[in-house]
């Protein structure tokens, strides 16, 4: 009989962070199960943006704690070979006159109140940081230097390797078929490679979190939404020194960053294409859509009006009704802890989320209160809705 | 029912690919004949007559056949085609160049790169770069095939005693002429066509190290050089060396991954290599799950040692 | 001087194809489709020849369902002047095979009379590597497959092509058929302005019947399965052990 102190379902960036932290907090016998390979689900499709800017204040603290891990990943893991692939180029966000202006100001002030350095820039200063863009329409420009982007796959495998070094067992290519329960308590999982017992199961299954509802009847309000990302090659370079940029003035609330060389990675920060069935395979990208995004990019980055389409791909988000995750223990199923619904901003929270879910699973006090993230909020109406409208800057 | 194998040769010798094609031909139809179409190719025709399992060699000799021009060789095959149920070429650059001309002229379909003969009219072949295997059935009276030589054993090159029949060479088509050849390239093979690839990852640490460590091994093996996405992003190697999902898809005989962790995106680009070797000092690196031979060692020690070893 | 460039809509090379459970084929229903990568190289070569003043018009043609229009639009955005779609039925049981495509192209060659037809050397879905050569035979044209360099002068083409162990140079009179290999060129990126301009370029749709061609397939696919998986590997102790395995067991060095 294979019995474990805790079983984690899903070895993406969240699951591998949970597994690492379980071991770090002293759990001796941890098992992680993944249907495919570590990080090969949606983590590998992440654009990798890291920032602490959120209009939902609860996320700011999780993001801030996570940032401190990203900036010293190797030391945090005690593994000098580990790398998060971090580019610390800062995060620039602007809004024109209109509906997004006040929410932006409030969010920036909220960050400041939490001791995070945020600068309010004038157009000239913004242009110095990002000379390929114009800010003629900007009514407010915020900049946080402690931000940038990193590599989600490297981070997931980094956490996984460190977890293994601390005794965690990770099995790949294993499909969990059923959650085994006994009178409202978790007792283990049944999988394609046998049955494993534990009274603690942590599900970090992203777009496949709907399994929880199938297994327990407990609602899992998450759906798979596919988003398109473009790499545009400009006549001018978007260098690693230039900040990640969030354009609240564009119709699609675009975010963009350097993709290396003269290339810009850009994507819309609004609602995507809902998939009937969870699936992270590449989707079609119509030329008309490319032209549409291209127009939005050209509005802000004049020279990119002539940009070439270097490559394009799709990534899938696990989206909840308020674009924020469900975290913590599950009422009605003792021993089940969940972390799903990151809605496109999970990577930047992965170290912090891994910590709190591990703490919750081990019965420890959590660094950040999980109450706001409870599933019940969808019935009580205490949604964590972002102030910019639906989208991943929530 | 008889099969005709179009020999791969250099006028003096029969090339190995022909031996594998003969094996496939024997599985298609009992009697196997070989066509040696060349110029002053008597020695090749004689060698063909010794191949075990071949009962007849047809030797066409003339200047029009001196350089294997598709327009002329195809005509030569067509002059004989009516006698055969199966016409087979090795799936080499030459075979692939000529076979479709024959098929189209006969108004029949061609089955490319067969890996198995299921029956006289049914064959297996890889599709989607080998991600799937299709079994196809031909409804034509003549089957034109190109044969993936690595999928069939080689017929013995000695033991046969076939008669050699000489036929007239076809006239020059006048469509095309050979100007020159440059064989035995001194430059590095193209990444996507190379038989051997030596590939480096982020662990190489710098562009200088990338070149200094991998070039000697690539030279020793006559290999192309590839790189992981991480190495390219870090600036250690040029974009066009990238092997992987957003780079090049390769399927060499031997792929040596040095300091490559084995991210999914990279594996997607090289998982169809015949033999994969991984050298990485991290025993946990995912690359070891696909490697046929894994060496857990510092590449800065292992690679130079390999180069030095005779 | 016209150049005809056939382009094929195929499953995007990034997609990990899935074999259908009933072994009838590969799942192409919801997967990403793109222009065959070798065909992009063919279009690029044709456009460059036009930019050099050696050709006057580049015509892209695709044979398949109406969805091929998106592929033709890409060709137009890359610089082709007009496009032709030979529309075939969107029927799961119908497969357009190289011999049929070659016949369709032969009919178009008779109509358009191009001096050059440039194709990709093979499509990454069926990996057949036949269409260009078949067309050349039907149209009684010279061919140069796996071309890595093309030079035009005085109604002749001088083509360098990849052969086993090296390259050879052929000289042929026009009209001729070339198939493009990777080394021929590096295609440009489609630019945003050209995506918009492509919408205004002419795209003509015709049917195989209009060209008098029978497109019924000759090969019947009986089943499609996954290949056998990779065998588990072994760890070797040191370089010496590795070289021994590679030489004596795997026989690759």
Neighbours of chain C (3+ CB pairs under 8 A): A, B
User: pLDDT per residue over A262-301, tens digit each?
Assistant: 999 999 998 899 999 999 989 989 999 999 999 999 999 9
Q: Does C71 touch chain B (CB under 8 A)?
A: no
Residue B265 with chain A: CB contacts under 8 Å: 44, 153
* Calpha distance C181→B232 (Å, rounded): 24
> Model confidence at B193, in pLDDT bands (50, 70, 90)?
confident
> Model confidence at B131, in pLDDT bands (50, 70, 90)?
confident
CB contact under 8 A, C192 and A284: no
Six token digits for residue C3: 């150049």
Rg (CA), chain C: 21
Residue C194 C-beta-side C-alpha neighbours within 13 Å: 17
Q: Estimate to the nearest angstrom the gap between the alpha carbon of C33 and the chain centroid.
A: 14
**Could you tell me which residues come within 8 angstroms of residue A98 by beta carbon, excluding any fewer than 6 positions away?**
A249
- The residue of chain B nearest to residue C221, with distances taken between CA atoms, is B136
At A1 the pLDDT is: 64
Phi-psi label, residue C113: left if phi above 0, alpha if psi -120 to 50, beta otherwise: left
DSSP class of residue B97 equals H
Residue B284 with chain A: CB contacts under 8 Å: 160-161, 164
At B183 the pLDDT is: 76
Six token digits for residue A61: 């603290």
CB contact under 8 A, C134 and B103: yes
CB contact under 8 A, C31 and A314: no
Question: Nearest CA to CA, how far is B273 from chain A (Å)?
Answer: 20
At B235 the pLDDT is: 87
Its ipTM equals 0.93
Ranges under pLDDT 70 in chain C: 165
DSSP class of residue B64 equals G
- Please, what's the largest Cα pairwise distance for chain A? 67
| Spatial contact of A230 and A206, defined as CB atoms under 8 Å apart | no
Identify which of B103, B182, B295 has the shortest CB distance to residue C236: B295
pTM of the predicted structure, to 2 decimals: 0.88
User: pLDDT per residue over C135-177, tens digit each?
Assistant: 999 999 999 999 999 999 989 999 999 887 678 999 999 999 9
Question: Nearest CA to CA, how far is A273 from chain B (Å)?
Answer: 23
C-alpha distance across the termini of chain C, in Å: 49
Q: Strand, coil or helix: what is C207?
A: coil
CB contact under 8 A, A298 and C192: yes
Q: Does C1 touch chain B (CB under 8 A)?
A: no
**Could you tell me which residues come within 8 angstroms of residue B209 by beta carbon, excluding any fewer than 6 positions away?**
B236, B300
- The residue of chain A nearest to residue C75, with distances taken between CA atoms, is A287
At B245 the pLDDT is: 62
At B185 the pLDDT is: 53
C-alpha distance across the termini of chain A, in Å: 44
* Calpha distance A20→A16 (Å, rounded): 6
Q: What is the mean pLDDT of chain B?
A: 92
Q: Residue B186: is its pLDDT beyond 60?
A: no
Neighbours of B138 (CB within 10 A): 21
Six token digits for residue A259: 């993709």
Six token digits for residue A342: 């990151």
Q: Does A220 touch chain B (CB under 8 A)?
A: no
Question: Nearest CA to CA, how far is C73 from chain B (Å)?
Answer: 22
Neighbours of chain B (3+ CB pairs under 8 A): A, C
Place of tokens 């119908």: C94
Average pLDDT over residues A196-220: 97
Residue B271 with chain C: CB contacts under 8 Å: 230
> What percentage of chain B exceeds 90 in pLDDT?
74
Question: Nearest CA to CA, how far is B191 from chain C (Å)?
Answer: 10
Q: How many CB pairs under 8 A join A and B?
A: 31
Average pLDDT over residues B57-71: 97
| Spatial contact of A244 and A256, defined as CB atoms under 8 Å apart | yes
- Give the range among A363-377, B252-266, C142-156 with minimum mean pLDDT: B252-266
Identify which of C30, C189, C198 has the shortest CB distance to residue A308: C189
Question: Nearest CA to CA, how far is B92 from chain C (Å)?
Answer: 7
At B184 the pLDDT is: 59
| Spatial contact of C77 and C71, defined as CB atoms under 8 Å apart | no
Q: How many CB pairs under 8 A join A and C?
A: 55
């Amino acid at each position: 009989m294979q019995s474990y102190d805790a079983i984690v379902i899903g070895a993406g960036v969240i699951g591998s962070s949970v597994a690492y932290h379980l071991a770090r907090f002293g759990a001796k016998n941890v098992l992680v199960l993944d249907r495919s390979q570590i990080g090969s689900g949606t983590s590998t499709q992440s654009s990798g943006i890291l920032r602490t800017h959120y209009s939902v204040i609860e996320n700011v603290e999780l993001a801030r704690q996570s940032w401190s891990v990203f900036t010293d990943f190797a030391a945090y893991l005690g593994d000098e070979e580990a790398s998060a692939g971090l580019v610390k180029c800062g995060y620039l966000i602007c809004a024109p006159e209109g509906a997004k202006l006040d929410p932006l100001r409030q969010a920036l002030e909220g960050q400041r109140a939490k001791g995070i350095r945020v600068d309010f820039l004038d157009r000239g200063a913004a242009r110095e940081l990002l000379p390929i863009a114009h800010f003629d329409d900007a009514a407010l420009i915020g900049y946080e230097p402690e931000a940038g982007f990193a590599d989600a796959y490297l981070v997931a495998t980094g956490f996984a390797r460190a977890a293994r070094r601390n005794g965690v067992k990770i099995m790949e290519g294993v499909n969990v078929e059923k959650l085994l329960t006994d009178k409202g308590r978790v007792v283990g999982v049944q999988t394609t490679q046998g049955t494993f017992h534990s009274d603690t199961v942590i599900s970090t299954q992203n777009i496949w979190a709907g399994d929880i509802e199938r297994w327990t009847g407990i609602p899992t309000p998450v759906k798979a939404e596919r988003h398109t990302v473009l790499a545009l090659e400009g006549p001018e370079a978007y260098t690693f020194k230039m900040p990640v940029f969030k354009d609240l003035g564009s119709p699609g609330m675009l975010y963009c960053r350097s993709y290396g060389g003269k290339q810009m990675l850009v994507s819309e920060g609004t609602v995507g294409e809902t998939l009937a069935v969870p699936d992270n395979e590449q989707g079609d990208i119509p030329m008309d859509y490319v032209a549409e995004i291209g127009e939005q990019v050209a509005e802000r980055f004049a020279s990119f009006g002539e940009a070439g389409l270097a490559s394009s791909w799709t990534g899938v988000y696990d989206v909840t009704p308020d674009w924020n995750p469900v975290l913590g223990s599950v009422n009605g199923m003792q021993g089940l802890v969940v972390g799903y619904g990151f809605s496109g901003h999970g990577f930047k929270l992965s170290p912090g989320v891994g910590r709190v879910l591990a703490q919750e699973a081990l019965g420890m006090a959590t660094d950040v209160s999980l109450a706001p993230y409870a599933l019940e909020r969808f019935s009580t109406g205490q949604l964590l809705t972002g102030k910019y409208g639906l989208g991943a800057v929530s | 029912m008889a099969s005709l194998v179009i020999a791969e040769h250099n006028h003096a010798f029969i090339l190995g690919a022909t031996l594998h094609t003969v094996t496939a031909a024997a599985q298609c139809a009992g009697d196997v004949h070989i066509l040696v179409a060349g110029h002053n190719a008597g020695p090749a025709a004689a060698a063909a007559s010794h191949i075990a399992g071949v009962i007849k060699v047809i030797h066409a000799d003339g200047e029009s056949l001196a350089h294997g021009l598709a327009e002329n060789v195809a005509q030569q095959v067509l002059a004989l085609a009516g006698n055969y149920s199966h016409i087979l070429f090795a799936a080499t650059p030459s075979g692939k160049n000529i076979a479709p001309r024959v098929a189209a002229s006969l108004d029949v379909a061609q089955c490319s790169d067969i890996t198995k003969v299921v029956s006289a009219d049914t064959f297996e072949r890889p599709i989607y770069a080998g991600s799937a295997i299709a079994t196809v059935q031909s409804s034509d009276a003549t089957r034109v095939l190109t044969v993936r030589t690595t999928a069939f054993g080689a017929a013995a090159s000695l033991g046969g005693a076939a008669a050699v029949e000489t036929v007239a060479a076809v006239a020059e088509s006048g469509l095309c002429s050979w100007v020159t050849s440059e064989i035995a390239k001194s430059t590095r093979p193209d990444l996507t066509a190379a038989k051997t690839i030596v590939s480096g990852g982020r662990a190489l640490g710098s562009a200088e190290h990338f070149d200094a460590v991998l070039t000697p091994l690539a030279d020793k093996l006559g290999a192309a050089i590839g790189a992981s996405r991480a190495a390219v992003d870090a600036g250690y190697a040029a974009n066009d060396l990238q092997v992987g999902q957003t780079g090049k898809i390769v399927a060499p005989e031997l792929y040596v991954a040095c300091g490559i962790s084995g991210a999914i995106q990279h594996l997607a680009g090289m998982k169809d290599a015949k033999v994969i070797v991984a050298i990485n000092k991290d025993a946990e690196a995912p690359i070891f799950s696909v490697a046929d031979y894994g060496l857990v060692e510092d590449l800065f020690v292992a690679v130079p040692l390999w180069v030095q070893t005779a | 001087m016209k150049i005809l460039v056939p382009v094929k809509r195929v499953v995007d090379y990034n997609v990990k194809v899935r074999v259908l459970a009933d072994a009838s084929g590969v799942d192409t229903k919801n997967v990403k489709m793109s222009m065959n990568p070798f065909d992009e190289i063919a279009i690029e070569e044709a456009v460059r020849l036009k930019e050099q003043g050696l050709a006057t018009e580049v015509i892209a043609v695709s044979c398949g369902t109406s969805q091929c229009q998106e592929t033709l639009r890409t060709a137009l955005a890359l610089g082709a002047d007009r496009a032709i779609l030979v529309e075939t039925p969107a029927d799961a049981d119908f497969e357009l095979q190289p011999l049929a495509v070659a016949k369709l192209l032969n009919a178009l060659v008779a109509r358009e009379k191009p001096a050059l037809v440039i194709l990709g050397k093979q499509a990454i879905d069926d990996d057949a590597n036949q269409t260009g050569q078949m067309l050349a035979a039907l149209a009684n044209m010279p061919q140069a497959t796996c071309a890595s360099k093309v030079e035009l002068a005085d109604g002749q083409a001088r083509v360098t092509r990849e052969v086993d162990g090296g390259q050879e140079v052929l000289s042929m009179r026009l009209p001729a058929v070339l198939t493009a290999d990777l080394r021929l060129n590096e295609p440009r990126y489609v630019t945003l302005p050209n995506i918009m301009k492509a919408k205004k370029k002419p795209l003509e749709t015709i049917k195989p019947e209009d060209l008098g061609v029978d497109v019924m397939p000759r090969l019947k696919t009986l089943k499609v399965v996954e290949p056998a998986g990779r065998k588990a590997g072994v760890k070797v102790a040191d370089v010496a052990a590795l070289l021994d395995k590679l030489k004596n067991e795997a026989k690759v060095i």
